[in-house]
Structure formats: structure tokens, C-alpha cells
Amino acid sequence: MKESFNEQTTVGELVAQYPQTRAALEKIGIDYCCGGKHDLKTAAAEKGVPLDKVLAALKDSLQTQPVGDTRDWTVATLTELADHIEERHHTFMREQLPRLQDLLAKVLKAHGPKHGTMLNPLQGTYNSLRQEIEQHLMKEEQVLFPYIRQIDEAASRGKPAPEMHCGSVQNPIRQMEHEHDNAGNALSRMRQLTDNYTLPGDACNTFRALYDGLQALEDDLHQHIHLENNILFPKAIKLECASK
């Protein structure tokens, strides 16, 4: 496959066009969701990795078949993408957040005496993350996404974008991006606390299920934030401006 990216390509643009590069970026440690606006040169420099090494790893990744969600969401309508985010990612979060909280409580009860110095702050970080995510989903579903769909509908009819009580779609988007940054920081903190989810030698099956679940949560949230920060939000801002 002939690649069409270079050092000036943003990380978000790269992943939107080539979903299979996600694994390579994650292995290097480059953030493609909250850090999606950085170009590859900047992202490589921030991680202290030579740019040529990053570009080579990305080119190699193009030889693999993308896994998971492979649809090109850059060509979807705003409504289609908002619907997908709600149906797939919001549903996943609502199913997994309480499940993982229960698993964490069980693991802490069983392994707290030996691993409490790690598990207690992990539980605190997770509980804060869950609370913010649940409020975040509600704000998207009740405020931001309905307005984005209205922008999309108005544009399809050749009409101006409707007025928004927040003044512009950029205002709630700015808040959502701030909350995405908070979530990204929490995910990084949990990885740090668990030594990249390295199980202790006495880990039981519940401990394994917890770590597997937290990593699945991280992966889904990365995809969720990528779709919003790098595709949905920029397209919504552009369409609103164009239809006024």
C-alpha cells in the first residue's frame, strides 16, 4: 500500500485514514485521541522517539489488516457518526463501567492486604473516571449530539444552522475536549499504577478479568475520543460555520 502521510500529517488524520496504524502508535506511546491534533513530527519529539523510526513503524503497520471498526468515518454524515458513537461506545461504557467497579471492589477485598498500596489509588482513580464519563455521556446525548444532528439536518436542506443556547457548537465541544483530556490522564494514571497492567504472581481469575476489562475500556475510550476529537467535532464546527 502506498502511504499518503508524512511528518506534517496530524496523528488524528493518520488514524482516521489508516485505522491499522493504531496499534503501532500505541506501542510507541503516541496518543492518537487527545493528542490527535499534533503532527507526527511533534508527537515523535514529545515521546523522544526518532521521527524516521516512527514513520517506518507506521509504514510497516499498513501491511496488516485493520481490526475492529474499519469504516471510513471521515465520509459519514454527522448524524451517522453521532448515532454510531452512541450505539457502540456509549452502550459499551454503560455496560462495562458498573461491571468493572464491582470487579475492582472484589479484588480489593481479596487482595487489599497485600496489594492495597496499588489497588486503593486505582479504585479512587477509576471511580472518579466513571463519574465523569457518565456525566459526559449524558451531556453529549442531551445537549451536544442533538444540536449536531440539527446542524446536519439544516445543511442537508440548504438552511442555516439553528441557533444554540450556548452560542456556538464550539462551546460545548471545548468542554467535551477538556473532559476527554481528563479521561486520558486517568487512563494513563491507571496504567502507571498497575505497571501497564502487569498481574502480580498471586493474581486470581477475578484479578485477571479486572485487568482485561480495564484495558478493553481504555481501548474503547481511545476509539471513542478519536472519533469525536478528530472527526465529529471538526466537521460539526466546519458545517455550522458554513451554514450560517
Q: Does the residue 158 lie in any domain?
A: yes
- Please give the pLDDT value at position 230: 92
- Please give the pLDDT value at position 224: 94
The whole domain housing 216 covers 76-242
Average pLDDT over residues 72-76: 89
Task: Say yes or no: 106 and 226 in one domain.
Answer: yes
Task: Say yes or no: 94 and 121 in one domain.
Answer: yes
Segment 218-230, tens digit of pLDDT: 999 999 999 999 9
Instruction: Tell me which H or E stretch contains 84.
Output: helix 78-84
Task: Say yes or no: 138 and 208 in one domain.
Answer: yes
Spatial CA neighbour of 236 closest among 178, 157, 170, 160: 170
- Please give the pLDDT value at position 68: 60
Average pLDDT over residues 38-60: 89
Query: How large is the angle between the packed helices 170-193 and 233-242, nearest 10 degrees?
Result: 170
Question: What's the total number of domains in the chain?
Answer: 2
Burial class of residue 43 in the structure, from the number of CB atoms within 10 Å of its CB (0-12 exposed, 13-18 middle, 19+ buried): buried
Q: Is the pLDDT of residue 120 over 50?
A: yes
- Please give the pLDDT value at position 244: 66
Q: Is the pLDDT of residue 37 over 80?
A: yes
Average pLDDT over residues 128-142: 97
Full-prediction pTM beyond 0.95? no
Band of the pLDDT at 2, cuts 50, 70, 90? Answer: low
**Mean pLDDT, the chain, as a whole number?**
90
Q: Does the residue 106 lie in any domain?
A: yes
Q: Is the pLDDT of residue 215 over 60?
A: yes
Task: Say yes or no: 54 and 124 in one domain.
Answer: no
Any alpha helices (H) in 194-232, and if so which ranges?
205-227
Residues 6+ apart with CB under 8 A from 179: 132, 136
Task: Say yes or no: 52 and 173 in one domain.
Answer: no
Segment 164-189, tens digit of pLDDT: 777 789 999 999 999 999 999 999 99
Q: Is the pLDDT of residue 25 over 90?
A: no
- Please give the pLDDT value at position 176: 96
Task: Say yes or no: 48 and 133 in one domain.
Answer: no
Q: Is the pLDDT of residue 70 over 70?
A: no
Q: Does the residue 66 lie in any domain?
A: no
SS3 69: coil
Segment 79-92, tens digit of pLDDT: 999 999 999 999 99
- Please give the pLDDT value at position 1: 47
Q: Does the residue 104 lie in any domain?
A: yes
Band of the pLDDT at 65, cuts 50, 70, 90? Answer: low
Query: How large is the angle between the packed helices 51-61 and 40-47, nearest 10 degrees?
Result: 120
- Please give the pLDDT value at position 83: 97
- Please give the pLDDT value at position 17: 82
